[in-house]
């Protein structure tokens, strides 16, 4: 595959679409599938990861990116990472605020601010 700006843009747009669709599914259907207590456990794990600081987050991302570099396993790891991120984002917002406007603003921040662009392109 030839790497060009056009190909990178196409992949990024595909990632955006997948993330948005799964966030919407998570927002509307997720609360029927995942309990509030499970979401609280996930939130606590995320908060403990943030307490590790930038180095801890970097090492976690490095682990995921290393796994994604493995042939055959890599694309599967990427899909699992992207789908769970989008779905959990939607479910968390559904339980926390239950407002589609908050979901839209969270997606805009996640997908179009510099940190989100770097995360998706990694």
Query: What residues contact residue 110 under an 8 Å CB cut-off, 6+ apart?
Result: 19, 89, 116
pTM over 0.85: no
Mean pLDDT over each residue of the chain, to the nearest integer: 82
Segment 90-120, tens digit of pLDDT: 888 888 888 889 888 888 887 777 766 666 6
**Domain residue extents for the chain:** 5-121
Query: What residues contact residue 73 under an 8 Å CB cut-off, 6+ apart?
Result: 67
C-alpha distances out from residue 117 to 52, 58, 67, 72, 108, Å: 22, 15, 20, 25, 11
User: What's the pLDDT at 97?
Assistant: 87
Neighbours of 19 (CB within 10 A): 22
Q: What angle is formed at CA 92 by the lines to CA 56 and CA 32, rounded to 5 degrees?
A: 135
């Amino acid at each position: 595959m030839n790497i060009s700006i056009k190909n990178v843009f196409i992949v990024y747009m595909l990632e955006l679409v997948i993330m948005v669709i799964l966030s919407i599914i998570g927002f509307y259907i997720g609360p029927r599938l995942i309990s509030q207590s499970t979401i609280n456990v996930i939130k606590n794990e995320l908060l403990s990861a943030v307490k590790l600081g930038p180095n801890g987050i970097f090492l976690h991302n490095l682990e995921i990116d290393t796994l994604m570099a493995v042939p055959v396993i890599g694309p599967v790891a990427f899909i699992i990472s992207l789908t769970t991120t989008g779905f959990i984002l939607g479910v968390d917002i559904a339980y926390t605020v239950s407002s589609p406007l908050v979901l839209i603003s969270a997606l805009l921040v996640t997908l179009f601010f510099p940190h989100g662009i770097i995360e998706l392109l990694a």
